[in-house]
Homo-oligomer: A and B are copies of this chain.
Amino acid sequence: MRYELYYWPSIQGRGEYVRLALEEAGADYRDVAREGGGMAAMNQLLESGDTPPFAPPFLKAGSLVIGQVANILLYLGPRHGLAPKSEAGRLWLHQLQLTIADLVVEIHDTHHPLGVTLYYEDQRTAAKKRTEEFWTERVPKFLGYFEKLLGDGNYLSGRRVSYVDLSLFQIVDGLRYAFPQRMKRFERKVPRLVALHDRVAARPNIAAYLASPRRIAFNEDGIFRHYKALDR
């Protein structure tokens, strides 16, 4: 089956967690909105059918249209060896992905504390305050949690890579892009997470993906945005 991924064509954003899973799995997929006429197709699916998604990303898998990143990964995981088959294992992994989703919201809020529909330029002062709280309180809590879980295994659930490992790679990669100075200082507190990032980046399918034009560059329209004023 050829999957169809629908997401904004010019940012990594939330779609990236799905792209990384599809790429690691070597799955056959189209990134529809990046093709000619793809945006129109995406908008049409958002407005039609009995189960329209609230927002991109969503994945078309045969007749299924699946929205919400963690839900898409819940579906893909056991089908592509990126999640355990047991219910207990799948629930645990999904729980971790939902915790990453919470972190992603907080990352986005650092530059948009007053609302997603306002410009960053109109909320700089609030963004500075929120960013300060994020790095003082929230980053240590979230990344410390995953650091503790990592233990001495190669990956979060042991020897086999899972979609959660791929998402944690993206978190570290994104924080490095958005907050290079802050992250440089913080990384010594999460050495296992940093090692996990490197281990994922070195996996053949991921390395090939990152070097390809399929990987969109970080930019200031996505979740991870580099604003110097927030990195001091």
Contacts and interface: CB of A to CB of B under 8 A. Distances in A.
Interface of A: 51-54, 64, 66-68, 70-71, 74-75, 88, 91-92, 94-95, 98-99, 101-102, 105, 109, 113-118, 123, 126, 129-130, 133-134, 137-138, 142, 145, 149
B133 A99 contact: no
Main secondary structure, interface of A, reads helix
A146 to B, nearest CB: 9
Contact of A64 (B66, B88, B149): B88
B113 A137 contact: no
A182 to B, nearest CB: 16
Given A91-B66, A91-B71, A94-B74, A113 B133 contact: no
A94 B95 CA distance: 13
A92 B51 contact: yes
7 contacts: A54-B142, A68-B94, A74-B91, A113-B114, A115-B129, A115-B137, A126-B129
A68 B98 contact: yes
Count copies of this chain in the complex: 2
A113 B94 contact: no
B95 A118 contact: no
B98 A114 contact: no
